[in-house]
Homo-oligomer: A and B are copies of this chain.
Amino acid sequence: MFEKKMKMAALDKVDINGGFWKEYMELVRCRMLPYQWEALNDRVKDAEPSYGMANFKAAAAGKGEFRGRVFQDSDVYKWLEAVAYCLMWHPDKELEATADGAIDIIAAAQQPDGYLDTYYILTGIEKRFTNVMDNHELYIMGHMTEAAVAYYYSTGKRKLLDAAIRYVDCVDRHFGREEGKLRGYPGHEVAEMALVALYGVTGDERHLNLARYFIDERGQEPLFFKEEREKYHNEYKWKDSYFQDQYYQAGKPVRDQEKAEGHAVRAVYLCTGMAEVASKTEDGELFAACERLWKSIVEKQMYITGSIGSSEYGEAFTFDYDLPNDTLYAETCAAIGLVFFARRMFEITKDGRYIDVMERCLYNGIISGVSLDGQKFFYVNPLEMLPEASKKDFYKRHVDVERQKWFACACCPPNVSRLISSLGGYAFEQSDSEIFVNLYVNGNFRTEIAGCTAEIQTETSYPWDERVSIRVKTEREAEFTVAVRVPDWCGNWTVSVDGGEYTGKLQKGYLYIERKWNGTSVIELTLKMPVRLMAAHPRVRDDVGKTAVMRGPLVYCLEEEDNGAQLQEIYLPEDARFEQTYDPELLNGVVTLKADGLRLTEAEWGEETLYQEYRGQHFDSQKLTFIPYYAWANRSVGEMTVWVHMK
């Protein structure tokens, strides 16, 4: 019963050909991938060098220095994975040749026993597996495997896949409960989901078993990382933290974890792996842990933008309802990981609330990480920006005022690339008898269902417009279900099928339109998109008395560029009326929201007065302009806020 009911659409069957996401996909394909390849080869001027390819070349040559962070290999793998996805919907011989060339170098770096982590190959392979906690060898194996599986699906080429299998087998010989093996598991998770994906290709039970072992062994007493630290005198960066080994989600068995804790990216990557293993092994207890952690995240620890990770220290979760808007971490990768987790939970449950969160992340906390030209990136995605604070408040020094060209730790840019390039798979999911329309894109999904070839054609200007037209085409009569998602944000929707009103009930966020399809039918969905003023639970201390403006799936914000500085002085009347305008010239085309707002006057305050007796709140009126949050910081450095005082 925990087996996945749905699987994502194969990317070569989905042709997204216009609209919001097509622009991002083309940005990835035409700009980000070429740019990132330059970055991985240290050819971007004035950017932090990556050393990604240089390390592989040195390892292949058997000589040279390792440079960059210990996990640098993974950026190359994430790039390869994104390339694999792009090739599925946009064949490109040149790009494929570049990737093949990279794979040749990678394969040449592999050691005779299958080991492949350039850090230890270049700095002393005899020290490998002595700091599994922090040195990312198993993380790299995971990303290698994810790339290898994707590249195999995309091109049919086995070179990277075979190399990954050899590395996995090498790890399998060293880790496990058997005598003489290390009872370790990844310090940074990702291998768990990767191994299940590999199992999907190989059918080799050892690959699934290794994933299951990693999950079950994690956090068992005696704690492996603790013993490893003691044995090898590894630095324990978290000895002063309250979360201790839970930084790695390794302080107690995953089934005993009640709350999402520790490093946020690791946590959601773990959850994704847990869901995969629970599904493949019909492990109800493990699935219950997934649900518990999901609720802990989205009901207690998630920003309205879908971002997670309230604290820079440990890039971590903190505690329930602790969601500061300015000192947060909210790493782009963490929101991406939450999308991974959401997709698995949906595939197991067919519950639309998981896609609601996925959509929240995609339209807000993830693409906020990328500049509109696809060449600069945020690692941290604040909901409030005061540039002076980033400079002068040490606790906000990690909150960049503008997107950066590259990072010494560059996990986010290629992670965005691999997500966006596989977006078609998130838009459509299917089972033997059901096609789910999860995201509203402009495009076609061709598939075999109920013994027939069918095509779903969607047309929309979502998220700017409320109308989504879904054309269902079959070669001949075939009975199956088209499940159309109605997002949680939409309280007022209509749907018709071939012009007739559809009266089915909403079930867990879906309209199950089941019929004998024949020829072409049209489902017309209208998702009313009024501007919504959102409130946070009163336990969220930082948002009390404030509202966040949303329209459709988009969270909006105020920027200094449009509204002046000192945004904390701005109040939005609770009965504000919004002028909604699509401006094709602005920020690559966005709907702006304008309203009559208020600004606390400074007139009654001298420069010399810091405190005075309260004399009522006095305001000047001010026209406010809200723009979509994801598009902030694309025009100038300045203040920004999502949460606005409400009057």
Q: Mark A67-97, 1 if CB is under 8 A from B, else 0.
A: 0000000000000000000000000000000
Least distance between A368 CB and chain B CB atoms (Å): 17
CB distance A534 to B614 under 8 Å?
yes
A600 interface neighbour in B313, B314, B532, B538, Cβ under 8 Å: B538
A395 interface neighbour in B241, B327, B547, Cβ under 8 Å: B327
CB distance A534 to B393 under 8 Å?
no
CB distance B611 to A537 under 8 Å?
yes
Chain B residues with CB under 8 Å of A605's CB are: 537-538
Is A608 located at the chain interface by the 8 A CB criterion?
A: yes
Of the candidate stretches A293-301, A414-422, A447-455, the one touching chain B is A293-301
CB distance A318 to B393 under 8 Å?
yes
Which chain A residues numbered 235 to 276 have a C-beta less than 8 Å away from chain B? Answer: 240-243
* Alpha-carbon gap, A536 to B612, bound state (A): 7
Chain B residues with CB under 8 Å of A434's CB are: none
Is A502 located at the chain interface by the 8 A CB criterion?
A: no
Which chain A residues numbered 566 to 603 have a C-beta less than 8 Å away from chain B? Answer: 566, 568-569, 574, 600-602
CB distance A322 to B602 under 8 Å?
no
Q: A313-B395, A322-B389, A388-B319 are in contact. Are A540 and B610 (CB under 8 A)?
A: yes
CB distance B569 to A299 under 8 Å?
no
CB distance B318 to A574 under 8 Å?
no
A304 interface neighbour in B241, B299, B548, B611, Cβ under 8 Å: B611
Q: A299-B609, A609-B299, A614-B535 are in contact. Are A544 and B393 (CB under 8 A)?
A: no
Least distance between A453 CB and chain B CB atoms (Å): 41
Is A391 located at the chain interface by the 8 A CB criterion?
A: yes
Chain B residues with CB under 8 Å of A537's CB are: 602, 605, 609-611
CB distance A613 to B314 under 8 Å?
no
Q: Mark A176-220, 1 if CB is under 8 A from B, else 0.
A: 000000000000000000000000000000000000000000000
Is A36 located at the chain interface by the 8 A CB criterion?
A: no
Chain B residues with CB under 8 Å of A243's CB are: 392
CB distance A614 to B242 under 8 Å?
no
Least distance between A171 CB and chain B CB atoms (Å): 33
Q: Which residue of B lies closest to A397 (CB)?
A: B240
Least distance between A493 CB and chain B CB atoms (Å): 15
Chain B residues with CB under 8 Å of A310's CB are: 393
Is A278 located at the chain interface by the 8 A CB criterion?
A: no
Q: A395-B311, A547-B614, A613-B533 are in contact. Are A538 and B602 (CB under 8 A)?
A: yes
CB distance A545 to B645 under 8 Å?
yes
* Alpha-carbon gap, A372 to B327, bound state (A): 34
CB distance A545 to B545 under 8 Å?
yes
Is A33 located at the chain interface by the 8 A CB criterion?
A: no
Chain B residues with CB under 8 Å of A46's CB are: none
CB distance B569 to A610 under 8 Å?
no
* Alpha-carbon gap, A395 to B311, bound state (A): 8
* Alpha-carbon gap, A395 to B321, bound state (A): 16
Is A386 located at the chain interface by the 8 A CB criterion?
A: yes
CB distance A311 to B568 under 8 Å?
no
* Alpha-carbon gap, A311 to B536, bound state (A): 28
Least distance between A309 CB and chain B CB atoms (Å): 12
CB distance A544 to B532 under 8 Å?
no
Is A232 located at the chain interface by the 8 A CB criterion?
A: no
Chain B residues with CB under 8 Å of A300's CB are: 610
Is A302 located at the chain interface by the 8 A CB criterion?
A: yes
* Alpha-carbon gap, A393 to B324, bound state (A): 11
CB distance B611 to A536 under 8 Å?
yes
A302 interface neighbour in B533, B539, B610, Cβ under 8 Å: B610
Q: A319-B392, A392-B319 are in contact. Are A538 and B569 (CB under 8 A)?
A: yes
CB distance B547 to A568 under 8 Å?
no
CB distance B602 to A539 under 8 Å?
yes
Which chain A residues numbered 491 to 547 have a C-beta less than 8 Å away from chain B? Answer: 491, 532-541, 544-545, 547
Q: Which residue of B lies closest to A570 (CB)?
A: B544
* Alpha-carbon gap, A548 to B298, bound state (A): 34
Q: A534-B611, A537-B605, A607-B299 are in contact. Are A242 and B311 (CB under 8 A)?
A: no
Besides A534-B613, A539-B569, 7 other A-B contacts (C-beta < 8 A): A299-B610, A321-B610, A322-B392, A534-B614, A537-B605, A539-B568, A544-B600
Contact sample, A vs B, 21 pairs, CB 8 Å cutoff? A295-B608, A299-B607, A299-B608, A299-B609, A300-B610, A312-B395, A318-B392, A319-B388, A319-B392, A322-B392, A491-B613, A532-B614, A534-B612, A535-B613, A535-B615, A537-B611, A538-B568, A538-B600, A539-B566, A541-B568, A614-B646
A-B pairs with the 8 shortest C-beta distances?
A313-B394, A533-B614, A541-B568, A535-B614, A538-B600, A319-B392, A538-B569, A395-B395
